[in-house]
Amino acid sequence: MLRLLFWIAGLLAAVEIRAAERSFVFGKLPLNETPAGFRSAVSGQGQPGQWKIILDETGSSTNTASAMKTPVLAQLSRDSTDEHFPLLIYDDETFGDFTLTTRFKNVDGVVEQMAGIAFRIQDENNYYYIRASSLGNTFRFFKLVNGQRSAPIGPEIEIPQKVWHELTIECTGNRIRSLLNGKELIPTLTDTSFGSGKIGFWTKSDSVPYFGDTKITYTPREILASALVREMMQRYPRLVGLRIFAARPGKTNLTIVASNKEKELGFSGGTVERDVIARDAVGYGKENRNVMVTLPLHDRNGETIAAAQVTMQSFKGQTEQNAIARAQPIVKQMQSRIRSAKDLLE
């Protein structure tokens, strides 16, 4: 029984997931520029918005000496096209479970005055969003699937113009909660359309909204490559090391995308790894008392998409052939879980 308890404790420690946090502090970014890491896009019709960091005057309107200027994110385009939804998408991270908190202010707009957050974005035609309208006085949730908008969910409520409001969105699995100024005005929603995706600032038509500093607390997503390495290291305790080399989407250089040593992530691949992928070959080497076997990883169509490097302790009489024979079952188990290169890195 004691051994079982130790085993369970070890397993729980191995799969422990720690929350991470990312903050967008607009006061630290260059003025009159779009924040780095973000991409301006548009759903529907019209042109992408003009998203820039500007200074917003705050403080007393009667005493100019006490007025202060605070950097904010603003959408400044005045495109009055009705089905015009500018997005500013954060491209550097994909989020599954998260809590996002931001401040917004609807400043101007003749056709619309809306501010919102789009989340679990797959592309410009597939995502959820929650927005607040100061002209329509509504706070609502929508789902966009293949460009088709769902029926609105949410109440009519006064949302004063040129006043800062706080918006909080929580996603846990298929459950979605949204709060406006600390109040959960929309009942908790359940939807399975999008399990993860990118996050972006959202608006409509000629709206000019401002957004304040934004914080996201989230559960880091483990890509399949990392999960495979972790599982194989647990299943084969005599393994010294395990690395997967691949080119990330949009990149040509080969890097370590998964390793039992986290500090190695991002290191460039060498001649052996490149040759294994290019020629669908096998690499073999020795290092101190260890042997390293590098084998190709194939997708379900048989295409070579990555290389797996297995490091094992050598023994007396160790040959290249039996080292390869030791490594092959490990790589085959990983390969059976891989459908595509994209699947490996998601």
* pLDDT band of 59, cuts 50, 70, 90: very low
Strand runs (DSSP E) across 220-322, as ranges?
A: 239-246, 255-259, 283-287, 290-298, 304-313
Q: Is residue 120 part of a domain?
A: yes
> What tens digit of pLDDT does each residue of 198-247 get?
999 999 999 999 999 999 999 887 889 999 999 999 999 889 999 999 99
Q: Is residue 332 part of a domain?
A: yes
Q: What is the mean pLDDT of residues 239-264?
A: 92
Q: Is residue 142 part of a domain?
A: yes
Residues 214 and 238 grouped into a single domain = no
Q: Is residue 209 part of a domain?
A: yes
Q: Is residue 229 part of a domain?
A: yes
What pLDDT was estimated at residue 309? 97
Identify the domain boundary among 201, 218, 235: 218
What pLDDT was estimated at residue 252? 87
Residues 213 and 237 grouped into a single domain = no
Cα angle, residue 122 at apex, residues 191 and 29 outer, rounded to 5° = 115
Q: Is residue 325 part of a domain?
A: yes
DSSP 188-232: EEE--S-SSEEEEEE--TT-EEEE--EEEEE-PPPPHHHHHHHHH
Q: Is residue 147 part of a domain?
A: yes
Residues 203 and 228 grouped into a single domain = no
Tell me, what DSSP letter sits at residue 258?
Answer: E
Residues 119 and 267 grouped into a single domain = no
Is residue 279 pLDDT above 80, yes or no?
A: yes
Structure tokens at 286: 């020795």
* pLDDT band of 262, cuts 50, 70, 90: confident
Which residue range forms the structural domain that includes residue 315? 224-344
Residues 169 and 47 grouped into a single domain = yes
Identify the domain boundary among 158, 192, 218: 218
> What tens digit of pLDDT does each residue of 94-124 get?
899 999 999 999 999 999 999 999 999 999 9
Q: Which CATH number is 340's domain given?
A: 3.30.450.40
> What tens digit of pLDDT does each residue of 125-149 get?
999 999 999 999 999 999 999 999 9
Q: Is residue 96 part of a domain?
A: yes
Q: What is the mean pLDDT of residues 180-184?
A: 97
Residue 262: HSE in the Cβ half-sphere, 13 Å Cα cutoff:
3
Q: What is the mean pLDDT of residues 60-87?
A: 81
Identify the domain boundary among 158, 193, 218: 218
Residues 239 and 214 grouped into a single domain = no
What pLDDT was estimated at residue 250? 76
What pLDDT was estimated at residue 135? 97
Q: Which CATH number is 58's domain given?
A: 2.60.120.560
The larger pLDDT score, comparing residue 188 to residue 60, is at 188
Residues 67 and 169 grouped into a single domain = yes
Residues 122 and 156 grouped into a single domain = yes
Residues 179 and 256 grouped into a single domain = no
What pLDDT was estimated at residue 58? 63
Structure tokens at 56: 């917003």
Residues 53 and 193 grouped into a single domain = yes
